[in-house]
Amino acid sequence: MSSHPASDPREEFLSRAVEIVGADNVVRPDGEDGYLDPYPLNSGRSAWPGVRPGSTEEVQAIVRLAGETETPLWTFSRGKNLGYGGPEPRDHGMVALDLSRMNRILAVDDRLGYAVVEPGVTFFDLFEYIKEHGLNLWMSVPALGWGSILGNMLDRGYGMTPLGDHVKSLCGLEVVLPDGDLLRTGMGAMADSDLGPIFQGGFGPTLDGLFTQSNLGVVVSGGLWLMPAPQAFANGDIMVEREEDLPALIDVLTQLRREDIIQNNALCGNVVRAATMRGARKDFWNGEGSIPDWRLDEMRREFGIGQWNAKFGLYGDPGLVRRRLEIVRERVTAAIPDAVVDARIYEGEEGRALEHERIAEADRTQMAGVPTLRPLSTVAWASQNGGHIDAAPIIPARGEEVYAFYQEAKALYAEYGFDLYIGYHLYPRHMVHVTMIFFERGNEEMLARARELYVRLLAAARAHGYAPYRSHVDYMDRIAGGFDFNDHAALRFQELLKDAVDPKGIIAPGKQGVWPARFRAARSSDADAATSLAPAR
């Protein structure tokens, strides 16, 4: 990372920010304070300073101050984007804009099924609100419930219920623009209207998408859709013993999703993924290199699972849930005769909506919209002082293509001595090819291998026309560079928008590889290196 000069231009900004947010909410990188990636890919990084506004008005004032002092801000909701850099900005010249204090649930409508929340509201927060108020609503949650609902949606994160493609449930935003002005998108652009979180659109071009994975403004509240609490829920499992049955499994599950027989985006994991939920690597293998196939086969038998293990959910009327489950069994066993299909069905009392307390604790998971922190234990797979980086390219939901890329990834992991963690998320037409690289923090040799493996995975994906749907902050330029149709026409247009909306380059310079004009010329020729924020002259 670039080192900050003796006369740090951020000092005026931080000193004056005290007048806006108070001294307790200006974070200086002293002692234990400051913002850092909890799982850094490069050791020895220094912490960043930051500010924590508590209201929209304070965000406006902070953004105006940043423009006046030309201090770039790196915005995040709670900084829990683990595996992608967490709260860490792109460069030391930035100040973190931490929105976690903005944690109000502004509205929840039980009848129409929506909520409006600020960036600091977590999945746990909304879940508990729904429970405390006795609302007949279920939400969609990702692997870890401590993150921001709005932040997850804006970064195109996902969950495991029918509304699991979170960005598709985003409806209406309130945004502080780079000049401090306040914008409402969609129908919310009308004063005194409650249509903002109800209709995904407005009058004229739709603006919500401009603020997803974006540095065009600071989102300070947003609407999201929720599903009615179902009368019945089935938590389903499919176990497949042979590695080579993956194409058939992918094809049957995505076809069932396209037909809306399976109502959520199924999850498909391998033996390594199952092992990370049961212990650390040393509990299963102490040898060199990746865990060999023969040992993985032993492990799956010990666990009582398949080589591939899929999870799916069914929701709604009890009769429909049972019929959907029959169809799933028929289709899966027709495609893979020795596959095992199991499910537990839960129903509400006397035809009423199902309460989570009626679901067995083992099935009270993300499939049922229940937030948890249990998967956090997987970070200790390589070491008690562990970390990970996520590689998650989007690829077509064609079984043969999925299997071919799996074999490429498996060979690369073996070459670099890592265990291949697979957690595929299956959508109707695409899938998220989730793999994780687990490492020991501070182990320079292992970190070097992890970085090189990650770059090789990116290159392998790009060679097939695949790319991740989101990125670690260290690799945003590299991934953006792969979107190269017509001499990077998309990036050039994004830069045009950035320069028009944010001419001073204040909001999150370099996010998703989009740099403002004043920093563009200073970008490193190495797309993976951190870019110095010395303004171009």
Q: What's the 3-state SS for 254-311?
A: HHHHHCCCCCCCCEEECHHHHHHCCCCHHHCCCCCCCCCHHHHHHHHHHHCCCCEEEE
Among this protein's residues, is 346 annotated catalytic? no
d(CA 286, CA 145): 32
The answer to whether residue 469 is catalytic is yes
Scan for tokens 């998220």, then name that residue: 432
| 330 CB-side CA count, 13 A | 8
Of these residues, 101, 129, 469, 523, which one is catalytic? 469
**Secondary structure class of 342 (helix, strand, coil):** strand
Of 84, 421, 424, 454, the active-site residue reads 84
Answer for the pair 358, 348: CB distance below 8 angstroms, yes or no. yes
Candidates 398, 470, 520, 523; catalytic one: 470
SS3 227: strand
Q: Which of 387, 369, 413, 363 is nearest to 472 (CA)?
A: 387
Residue with tokens 């000049």: 179
Q: Which two tokens stand for residue 420?
A: 């291949």
Q: What is the 3-state secondary structure (H, E, C) of 474-498?
A: HHHHHHHHCCCHHHHHHHHHHHHHH
CA proximity to 57, closest of 102, 18, 98: 102
Residue the block writes with tokens 């960005």: 167
Q: Which helix (H) or strand (E) holds 347?
A: strand 340-347
Distance CA 222, CA 117 (A): 6
Counting Cβ atoms within 10 Å, is residue 347 exposed (0-12), middle (13-18) or buried (19+)? middle
Query: What single-letter DSSP state applies at residue 202?
Result: -
84: annotated active-site residue:
yes
Give Cβ neighbours of residue 92 (< 8 Å, ≥ 6 apart): 1, 2, 3, 4, 46, 48, 533
Q: Give residues with Cβ within 8 angstroms of 172, minimum separation 6.
A: 116, 184, 185, 186, 187, 188, 196, 197, 198, 208, 222, 223
Considering Cα of 158, then 162, then 168, then 174, what sign does the dihedral take?
Answer: negative
The catalytic site residues sit at: 84, 469-470
